[in-house]
């Protein structure tokens, strides 16, 4: 990864159309870049991640990006994403038709392929037989795009439209039982289209197709490496910050911890880490975090105990959105008070990741300096928005990385596995794993139950078998019997899920003996609980967290 701390003046994810300017370092980055034009596909981020897995840099930009803007970015290749629309509908999203004449290789995926066909003189219409799910791919031309893609391999389809007539110069590369033109190409112009989704795990040889496009057709080199990213980022941080001070709100998760390590390596004592304990962390975690960073990593952390303040804010509150709002609001007040006490600071460091940039496209630029100014910290990092008069400048070295890339960076700079591979934990913490009102008693019950869950999945060596594994406390009571006496106590819900990125998830088929051990321990050891149940809902239709 040559240089992700640099912000291109075109944050084209924010759909602006200003003239672009680039530094020499940015130009080198862009020389080895694949651009994904997003037409509203749920898989656009996934395409970008698959490109990154080939060690080639990728960016997701708006479909409104013009051919002129793309020419300035000078990517090695362009991918048009899928999308929910039909190309023949009125008002459907269209790309700049001049893109086809840039001389840059283009790969259209699903809707992207249909758009290519229509704009270049072919025909797209409602298919006689729609295709959703797995389909066998039969190859008519095994060269170029489909090199090393096996005959009959499974590909993931999701379309109701189909190409009826190819544009001039195109030929069919592959078909399926229901789709005559499942893959197409104009080899001379290096324009390619696939009706399926090679980026999803269900497409068996999808990554082989992507590699063919990236390496052989676009002629990219694998320069996007963790070592290069770390080296360039540390240099960029030093150049940007100079001798000034930086404040980081540390949560203990992989993002903020990796950021703390990077910043400390770059600027040392100019960094101040502040951990605000809102009282919703797991058992003994705040103490462990402060000790770990201070004694083992030699990165001092300013510990702020605000437990009583946050708990007071949630008295009588049962609505989950109101909980989040109040937690975020109180975090702002505490953060403001403590930053003034510890400051002054010129920069605020945030663990913003690339999916956050894509989803929010939120830029606030100081018109005098061109620097991004912090008006808010992301809600999933415990906050809802900073007052405008704080006006820190932002340091966001991870803002071009996906989660799996952050983990790689963390490992490379010495972050221990217990943090690198830690299960995702929500910013509001246990407050949204207690359904209904949050009280000190309920927090203690859930902390004890949660500790048992973590102890047992670790004891059986299964911690990394799950994307997340945690307990939820319900605000109801059920009848039980303990020691020949009737009880009336809370149930605990166990929620174990498997996922690649948290966007979708399936409930985990945890071993019965593991569930039995956890259930027995919780009922016997946690006062106030007499029943344990297991959540077998996938996402969708459910969410991973209960609130």
- H or E stretch covering 307: helix 307-313
Question: Which tokens is 268 given?
Answer: 């040392």
Pairwise CA distance, residues 294 & 409, whole Å: 21
Among 11, 45, 59, 110, the active-site one is 110
Nearest to 319 by CA among 229, 199, 189, 438: 438
Q: Is residue 423 annotated as a catalytic residue, yes or no?
A: no
Q: Are 197 and 36 in contact (CB under 8 A)?
A: no
Among 11, 59, 199, 236, the active-site one is 199
How many other C-beta atoms lie within 10 A of the C-beta of residue 365?
A: 13
Q: Is residue 101 annotated as a catalytic residue, yes or no?
A: no
Nearest-Å Rg of the Cα atoms of the chain is 26
- H or E stretch covering 169: none
Q: Is residue 218 annotated as a catalytic residue, yes or no?
A: no
Pairwise CA distance, residues 44 & 40, whole Å: 8
Q: What share of the chain is helix, strand, coil (3-state, %, to 5)?
A: 35, 20, 40
Q: Are 113 and 87 in contact (CB under 8 A)?
A: no
Contacts of 496 (CB under 8 A, 6+ apart): 466, 468, 469, 507, 508, 510, 534, 535
Pairwise CA distance, residues 257 & 301, whole Å: 11
Contacts of 91 (CB under 8 A, 6+ apart): none
- H or E stretch covering 479: strand 478-482
Contacts of 265 (CB under 8 A, 6+ apart): 234, 413
Nearest to 219 by CA among 77, 46, 393: 77
Pairwise CA distance, residues 56 & 219, whole Å: 11
- H or E stretch covering 442: helix 440-459
Residue 187 half-sphere exposure, CB side, CA atoms within 13 Å?
10
Q: Would you mind telling me the total number of residues written for the chain in this entry? A: 547
β-bridge mates for residue 172, sequence order: 184
User: What Å distances lie between residue 364 and 60, 64, 374, 375, CA to CA?
Assistant: 20, 21, 7, 7
Nearest to 77 by CA among 47, 119, 42: 47
Among 159, 175, 197, 381, the active-site one is 197
Query: How does DSSP assign 185-230, residue by residue?
Result: EETTTTEEEESS-TTSTTSTTHHHHHHIIIIIIS-------HHHHH
Pairwise CA distance, residues 514 & 507, whole Å: 15
The residues that are catalytic are 110, 197, 199
């Amino acid at each position: 990864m040559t240089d992700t701390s640099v912000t291109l003046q075109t944050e084209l994810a924010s759909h602006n159309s200003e003239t672009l300017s680039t530094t020499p370092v940015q130009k080198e980055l862009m020389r080895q870049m694949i651009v994904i034009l997003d037409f509203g596909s749920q898989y656009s981020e996934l395409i970008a991640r698959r490109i990154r897995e080939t060690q080639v840099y990728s960016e997701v930009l708006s479909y409104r990006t013009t051919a002129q803007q793309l020419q300035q970015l000078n990517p090695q290749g362009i991918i048009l994403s899928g999308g929910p629309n039909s190309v023949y509908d009125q008002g459907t999203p269209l790309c700049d038709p001049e893109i086809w004449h840039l001389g840059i290789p283009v790969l259209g995926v699903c809707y992207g392929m249909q758009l290519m066909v229509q704009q270049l003189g072919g025909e797209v219409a409602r298919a006689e037989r729609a295709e959703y799910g797995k389909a066998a791919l039969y190859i008519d031309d095994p060269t170029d795009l489909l090199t090393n893609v096996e005959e009959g391999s499974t590909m993931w389809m999701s379309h109701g439209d189909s190409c009826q007539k190819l544009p001039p110069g195109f030929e069919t590369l592959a078909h399926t039982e229901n789709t005559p033109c499942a893959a197409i190409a104009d080899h001379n112009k290096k324009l390619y289209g696939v009706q399926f989704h090679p980026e999803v795990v269900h497409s068996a040889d999808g990554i082989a197709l992507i590699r063919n496009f990236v390496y052989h057709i676009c002629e990219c080199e694998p320069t996007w490496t963790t070592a290069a990213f770390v080296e360039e980022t540390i240099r960029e941080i030093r150049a940007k910050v100079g001798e000034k001070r930086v404040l980081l709100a540390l949560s203990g998760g992989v993002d903020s911890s990796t950021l703390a390590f990077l910043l400390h390596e770059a600027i040392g004592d100019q960094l101040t880490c502040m951990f605000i304990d809102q009282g919703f962390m797991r058992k003994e975690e705040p103490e462990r975090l402060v000790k770990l960073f201070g004694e083992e990593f030699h990165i001092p952390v300013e510990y702020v105990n605000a437990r009583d303040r946050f708990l007071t804010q949630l008295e009588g509150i049962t609505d989950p959105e109101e909980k989040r709002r109040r937690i975020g609001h109180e975090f702002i007040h505490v953060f403001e008070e403590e930053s003034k006490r510890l400051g002054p600071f010129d920069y605020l460091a945030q663990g913003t990741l690339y999916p956050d940039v894509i989803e929010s496209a939120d830029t606030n630029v100081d018109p005098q300096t061109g620097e991004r100014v912090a008006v808010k910290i992301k809600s999933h990092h415990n906050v809802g928005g900073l007052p405008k008069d704080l006006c820190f400048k932002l340091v966001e070295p991870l803002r071009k990385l996906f989660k799996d890339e952050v983990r790689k960076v963390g490992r490379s700079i010495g972050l221990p596995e217990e943090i690198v591979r830690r299960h995702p934990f929500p910013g509001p913490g246990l407050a949204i794993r207690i359904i209904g009102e949050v009280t000190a008693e309920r927090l203690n019950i859930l902390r004890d139950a949660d500790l048992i869950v973590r102890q047992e999945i670790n004891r059986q060596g299964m911690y990394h078998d799950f994307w997340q594994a945690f307990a939820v406390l319900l605000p109801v009571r059920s009848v039980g019997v303990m020691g020949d006496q009737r009880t009336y106590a809370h149930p605990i819900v166990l929620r174990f899920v498997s996922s690649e990125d948290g966007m979708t998830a399936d409930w985990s088929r945890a071993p019965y003996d593991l569930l039995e051990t956890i259930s027995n321990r919780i009922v016997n050891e946690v006062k106030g609980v007499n029943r344990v149940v297991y959540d077998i809902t996938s996402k969708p239709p459910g969410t991973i967290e209960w609130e």
